[in-house]
Every structure is written in C-alpha cells, then in structure tokens.
Amino acid sequence: MADGARAKIDITLTPALKDVDAAAWDALANPPGERRDPFVTHAFLSTLEDSRCVGSDSGWDVCHLIAHEGDVMVGAMPLFAKTHSYGEYVFDHAWADAMRRAGGRYYPKLQCAVPFTPSTGRRIFATNAGVRDMLIAGAKEAARKLEASSVHITFPTHDEWARSGELGYLQRTGVQFHWTNEGYASFDDFLAALSSQKRKNIRKERQRAQDGLTILRLEGDAITPAYWDFFFRCYMDTGARKWGSPYLNRTFFHLLGDRMKNDCVLFVAEEDGRPIASALNLVGSDTIYGRYWGCTREVPFLHFELCYYQAMDYAIEHDLRLVEAGAQGEHKLLRGYAPTATYSAHWIEHRGLRDAVARYLADERPAVAHEIEALNEHTPFRKDD
C-alpha cells in the first residue's frame, strides 16, 4: 500500500489485537504528554475482542490497519469490516437503503471506530503527519482489497476530520452535549453561574433523587464482583428496552473490571443497603465519560443524579475538564451540558452514492451548525448584561 516515496513504510491488516504489541499500540494511541483516552487503549479494545463482543458472528470483523517502518510500529487505525450499521451512533441506514434500492451492495463496509462508544478521540495513530496520511489513504485501499463499499471514520478529532476531508473523504458533523468544568471549586460554585430558576430546579432534582437513598462512588477494587453483577443486570434491562439486544456481555465487564479497574467509576444508589440503580463511567486524563446506566426501581430524577450530577461532582473534585455523558439528549441542556460538535468522515467507492451523500451533507452541516447556535441560546447560565 505504500508508494515509492514511502517504500520503507509497510501497511498491513491485522485480524486480532492480540497479535499487536500492547506497549507499541498504547504509545501511538495515547502519546506521552497528550490527553489520555481510555477507549483507544489496547486493554479496552482487546477486551471487546476477547469477550467476543466484536469479531466472529458480531458483524464487527477485526481488520486493524497497522503501519511498520522496518520492525518499528509507526501507525495504526482501529478498523472493522461491518455487515450492519448498529453500535455506531452516526446513522447511515438511509445510505445503505439507497444503495440497495439502486441494486448495489453497501455491506461490508469498513468502520474506523471504537465500537459502541460515541466519544470523540484519536482514531488515526501515527508518529508523524506523513504516516497519518498514509493510513487515511490506506483505509481506502483496504476497502478495495476487502471489496467493501466504503470507509467511515466516526468520532475522530477535529484535526483528523479536517485532514480526511482534504484527502477525499466526505465530512459530516453531529451534536452532543458536554459539560465543561470552568474551574469550579464545588458544585455550588457551578450552580452560582446559573440563572436563579435553573439553580433552584437542579437543587430540587438532586434533593428528590437522593431522598431516602445512599449514593456510593466506587472505584478500583471497591467495585466488587457483586456490584459488577448488579450493574450488568441494570445494563441488560436498559439495553433491552433501548436497543432490543444489548451489545456487551458479562464477560466484557468481567474483563474490564480486571484489566481497567483503575479507569472505572461506578455510581450506585442504595436503599436500605440494597442497590437499586447504577451508572458506569470511565475516566481519562481530563474527562469522565458516562457510559451505561440502569435501575431496578424508578425514582424521580435518579437518572439525572447518577449520570450527570455525580459525574460533575467527580470532575470538580478531580479537576477534570469535561464530562461526556454519551450521545443525544437535549434534556442535558437544562442541566448545564452545552451543545458540542462531533465529527465523522466517509469515503464511498460508488460514484453515484458518493455524489448523493455529498449533496446531502452539504445541506446537513450548516443545519447542524445552526442547531448548535440555537441550542446555545437556551443554556441555563446567567445572561448578565
């Protein structure tokens, strides 16, 4: 896949992360001195593979793109050949349907992503810009080799998105709601930045949610197998109601608790010593990421307490810059979470579909920008003269 000028760079497809040196992968995915993202670590991605949540029979066939210069690994992309469009959070079902109706074949497609994880972060790991560009181009060549219709890079950084666009990928934007820690000394300090009515509403929500309950914050070894079992029960209930078939299994969470226990924070609500709700988070160097939640008994506002307010408390106490609480959810806006642009890049082999999608995205991008601008007018923060 390398051209003559880059002949010493060899790019290959790897069908399992266990075949890739963990230290070499992590040094590229989370370079020293840059923000650490737990989702792109060898531990997290290999846990998905080892638990069989991706790989055989999942519709996420592993084909990571790896670049070597001699014996040295100099670049990588987490890449999957997909036979469906689930677990991505950037929806392309209409594109697949258009291809089908035109008599073409949309699947398999190649997905550069962290499966089931709508969090922005590095997707193209490289020691320099030249290797990065080779990987972006190499993904197209991999698609042709594997007879895939397209390549989709979801939730990359803005810089990766911009460069992919320069190299021929179609550019798409979306919106999530993130909370930013503006150097608050306490949760009350954050509340002081809100309008009076919004401040009162949040205080009432927290009071009602916590009434008669004990809220636990569990980290590391404190997340015992019993708590993991309870959390998984919550996850399965929520997943069955939201998605029909939850993506992750108990083995995944068992391995996660074993391999990444120091990256996990579990908020648990207990009533008379019995857990009734829980929310799992992972923590990076400057961000706490809300992932999954569930309950065995409905309590007003408890979802907001465990998924949003507890994460904000944690971020303030640990001087973290951001809380990312997952995809969608305009209800987050009234609780201090601001609209934030997200990105994806798409290369489509079929010219007719590519041109149609390009026209669609040309209309969608300004609409998303307008939506973000309009949403910013409705944040709960004081609008002082």
CA atoms of 53 and 150, how far apart (whole Å): 23
pLDDT at 240 over 80: no
Q: What are the residue ranges of helices labelled H in 146-279?
A: 158-166, 187-191, 196-210, 225-242, 250-259
- 328 — pLDDT class (breaks 50, 70, 90): confident
Tens-digit pLDDT profile for residues 75-92:
999 999 999 999 999 999
Q: What's the whole-number mean pLDDT along residues 141-166? A: 98
pLDDT of residue 57: 87
Residue ranges of domains in the chain, CATH in brackets: 4-176+340-376 (3.40.630.30), 182-320 (3.40.630.30)
Whether omega for the bond prior to residue 246 falls within 30 degrees of 0, making it cis, is no
Tens-digit pLDDT profile for residues 346-381:
999 999 999 999 999 999 999 999 999 999 999 999
pLDDT of residue 253: 97
pLDDT at 244 over 70: no
Q: What are phi and psi of 368, to 5 degrees?
A: -65, -40
Q: Which long-range contacts (CB under 8 A, 24 or more apart) does 29-32 make?
A: 29/76, 29/122, 29/125, 30/122
Residues of the chain above pLDDT 90, percent:
92
CA atoms of 80 and 9, how far apart (whole Å): 22
From residue 335, alpha-carbon distances to 78, 242, 317 in Å are 34, 22, 18
Average pLDDT, the chain: 95
CA atoms of 125 and 27, how far apart (whole Å): 9
Q: What's the whole-number mean pLDDT along residues 20-37? A: 97
pLDDT at 2 over 60: no
